[in-house]
Chains A and B, each alone.
Chain A
Amino acid sequence: MRASTIEELRAAFQEPFWRLGRDAARDRETVLMSWPSVPVELVRAAGLQPVFARGHSTPTPAADRVLEPNIFPNRLRQLVEAALTARLANVAAIVLPRSSDPDYKCFLYLRELARRGIAATLPPVLLFDLLHSDDPGARAYNADRARDLSARLAGLGGRPPLADDLRSAIVSADRARAAARRLHKLRSGPSRVSGADALPLLGAFWQLEPERYSALANASADTLVQRVPLERRRVVVAGVPVDGTAMHAAIEAEGAVVVAELSPFGSGGTSADIGIAGDPFAAIAAHYGRESIDARLPVNTLMHKLDDLLGAAEAVVISQPHDDASFGWDYPRVRELLARRSIPHTVLGGDPAFGATAADLESIRRLLGNTPSRPELRCG
């Protein structure tokens, strides 16, 4: 893979959130979101660019004064920190999905902080209320919410919401999804790429202009397929969806390779197309209702997605940081599924934004030490 391709995709994953506040003109064309349960196609159809808040070990002193501990994941603390330090003053809008209680509470907190004058320079703060239910009432509700968000974003972008703009955005995004799937396929069988490298390549889908993403992802796939497969133990990361590579790096430092992760930024983000048959608002709402991996995704759907990822996994690492209020309840079911497949697992309690704790590292070592090695494969 050419270094420039790697760097551009990696930068498209890592940098956009941290660049906010440096270029007012660029910020004015940007919509900041907290989790990819907000359809990026709606943002792009409005002529705006999506950026996602991401977890990081950077301190958040201003946010810590207004957010209770052990409730809000680091990505939301970083978002509120940016809001309180005027980094978001020029952003077109902040959109939070109803993908978890902390995301919803963050929406309410930002509104309240603005009302109280504590966050004086906030752009419009919007909610995208997506219900994870497939009954007709919920489908209609979600489609209406997609129309409503589209109208609001189009208003910010200074253009009327047009279904044709959305159809074009969907077509472009589906092409980018196909390129991402090509990349992800290189992790099945003997993986050609480490998880820590793969996650940014896949995660860039959400923030990079789709045509550019397609070109870079396809070029990367063409190069990666030539690589010698990584003959390492194959690990799947589950539990609370990760939004960074720290956990992957910790696992891979112990001689394994992360071949999949239950996260929209990785394996779970681009597995299905939207399509444009019929009402594009209904189609996009149905897609995100079905595919968004978040704390409110029904447990049966989540278990199917995990089952699909397990493939030839030899071990599973389950992330369960202290702010989790949801995924930990799946543990009995996950344990049962893994037992049926004879796949060992471990549970990590550290915050992935800060990397593995000493206890987590010990758990990873114990897991991988106890994991029988797969017979070596050499292809390509």
Chain B
Amino acid sequence: MAEKQLESTVAAAAFQKQWFGDLRRRVFDERRPYALIQADVPFELFDLLEIPAVSNQWWSSLVAAKRQAPAFLAAMEADGISDQLCRYCSLGLATTRYSKAGTAPWGGLPAPRMLCARLTCDCVHRVFSLWAEAFGAELFEIQHPAASELPPRWWELTRHRWRELIEPHRLEFVTTTLERLIARLESIGERRLDRDALRERLARVNRQEEIFDATRQLIATAPATPVRMTEQIANVMATQWVRGTDWAIAHAQHFHDEVRARVDAGVAACDGEKLRLMWVGAGLWHDTDFYTAFEDSHGAVFVWSMYLAFGPDAYIRYGLEDPLAALASRTASFNEFLHNPPWAAEWIAAQARAHRIDAALVLHPKSMKPSATGRIFIEQALEEAGVAVLRVEADVVDSRAWDPAAARKAVASFLDERVPQ
């Protein structure tokens, strides 16, 4: 694994391990409730009601990074669940349903009081139903009304004009659903949600994402990228799961300041940067070394992934007179920005231009079918922006069909033959 260049990256990893250890102690020793939730569920509500929430996608990425995914996924297949079904959302289920098949990281997930999922992809209801059944826990589902009007350049509307971005009937429905979720969480947490505290929390989330926006700008405009993509992800995601908390804002600032210092000192993540790469899609959690594999051979550095850039563009909401409506406006279309045409293609192409990207590796995830859509439009938009494109077929958590050497060889050939040096 490549050495960590930033102190903040080490601190982020330590925080997450400590946070999870504290969670286990609270659950086992103090019998306090916690929730297991999808990444696009509003974590703020859980935190304000003192119900810690673990992200399913974070847990999956951790299991994959610890190289434990194959054992659990093999057990799931042996149970008759086809390998063509989504692995990213279901690896956590596999660690619970087939717990003896492998060794889950950090002692494994304790039984949650509640699971909560937004029903984006078709599989989510089914995966979470099985998971809730395996834990004997309740499941709260956030129905997903679909957008039929998708205004162009969504990221220019999210901050101030979010009521124009989300159709009124969808915004109203999601707001009502979040009211129901709050009522359920208040019952579990045995406390009332303070709406002023929610407004304050969302303002603090804005502050955190403004810091990330400044960091993104530093990375985009520096002569050479000052921080590797993998370290961007580690720092950003550690804070997003606890966004708006004191630690998250302080850590975002620490990360920014380190990046700022490196830019001011002319320090690059890779000496002799020649090519700037972007990764389109979820992270390749079982082989993160892939992202630094072309630095020495080609001077090719991964500059951009969605993880840092998405925060400022998707989370910030100004005009918090009705904080729940603002939160609902984020929830209503959250990950659709990343996949659906025309939203995904025009945003990613704009990001490529802003970051002076030479080449993009576009993930075609094998089992995550909805996430695999829109790729053709994204690739066309990138090529129209002058960015060379390579498709990468892989599963983000399942390493069994991934040949690291062959993948690196294919990328090297692409860089040699298709990307102007």
Contact = CB atoms under 8 A, between A and B. Distances in A.
Do A and B actually bind? Answer: yes
B84 A71 contact: no
Interface stretch (A176-184, A260-268, A325-333): A325-333
A105 B126 contact: no
A164 interface: no
A335 B80 contact: yes
Contacts of A129: 145-146, 148
Contact of A329 (B126, B143, B148, B376): B126
Interface in B325-352: 340-342
B341 A141 contact: no
A112 interface: yes
A342 B279 CA distance: 50
Contact of B176 (A137, A296, A323): A137
Interface in B40-91: 79-82, 84-86, 90
B392 to A, nearest CB: 14
Contacts of A101: 121-122, 369-370, 373
A100 interface: yes
Interface residues of B, number: 40
B143 A133 contact: yes
Contact of A71 (B123, B130, B341, B373): B373
Contacts of B129: 299-300
A326 B342 contact: no
A324 B121 CA distance: 12
Interface in B80-133: 80-82, 84-86, 90, 119, 121-123, 125-127, 129-130
A210 to B, nearest CB: 28
Contacts of A323: 369
B364 interface: yes
A108 B345 CA distance: 13
Contacts of B80: 331-332, 335, 347
A107 to B, nearest CB: 8
B242 interface: no
A138 interface: yes
A295 to B, nearest CB: 4
Nearest to A106: B373
Nearest to B82: A328
A329 B81 contact: yes
A322 B85 CA distance: 9
Given A115-B342, A299-B126, A71 B145 contact: no
Given A100-B122, A137-B177, A331-B80, A127 B369 contact: no
B138 to A, nearest CB: 14
A47 to B, nearest CB: 23
Contact of B369 (A71, A126, A141): A71
A288 to B, nearest CB: 15
Contacts of B121: 101, 325
B346 to A, nearest CB: 10
A298 B81 CA distance: 18
B318 interface: no
Contacts, number: 107
B70 to A, nearest CB: 19
B31 to A, nearest CB: 30
Interface string B361-382: 0001000011011111100000
Interface string A327-353: 011111001000000000001010000
B324 to A, nearest CB: 14
Interface centre among A100, A326, A332 (most CB of B within 10 A): A326
B146 A325 contact: no
A131 interface: yes
B79 A332 contact: yes
Contacts of A111: 150, 341
A233 to B, nearest CB: 23
Interface string A71-114: 10000000000000000000000000010111011011101100
Interface in A7-65: none
B6 to A, nearest CB: 36
Given A104-B146, A127-B148, A324 B82 contact: yes
A104 B144 CA distance: 12
A2 B207 CA distance: 75
A351 to B, nearest CB: 12
A141 B146 contact: no
A325 B370 contact: yes
A320 interface: yes
B372 A141 contact: no
Contacts of A325: 85-86, 121-123, 369-370
Nearest to B119: A296
A145 B173 CA distance: 12
A328 B126 CA distance: 9
A326 B126 contact: yes
A196 B25 CA distance: 60
Contacts of B143: 131, 133, 138
A186 interface: no
A68 interface: yes
A163 interface: no
A68 B372 contact: yes
Given A324-B82, A329-B85, A329-B130, A68 B375 contact: yes
A144 interface: yes
A70 interface: yes
B85 to A, nearest CB: 5
A66 B376 contact: yes
A52 B122 CA distance: 21
A328 B81 CA distance: 6
A295 B370 CA distance: 13
Contact of B123 (A133, A322, A329): A329
A186 B146 CA distance: 40
A105 B370 contact: yes
A374 to B, nearest CB: 27
Nearest to B120: A101
Interface in B377-397: 377
Given A137-B177, A325-B370, A329-B126, 5 more contacts: A71-B369, A98-B146, A101-B121, A131-B145, A137-B176
22 contacts: A70-B369, A71-B369, A71-B372, A100-B122, A101-B370, A105-B340, A105-B374, A111-B150, A111-B341, A129-B148, A131-B145, A138-B143, A141-B145, A141-B173, A295-B122, A296-B119, A320-B82, A323-B369, A324-B84, A332-B79, A332-B80, A349-B82
Pick the 5 closest A-B CB pairs, nearest first: A329-B126, A112-B341, A326-B122, A127-B148, A325-B369
Interface of B: 79-82, 84-86, 90, 119, 121-123, 125-127, 129-130, 141, 143, 145-146, 148, 150, 169, 173, 176-177, 180, 340-342, 364, 369-370, 372-377
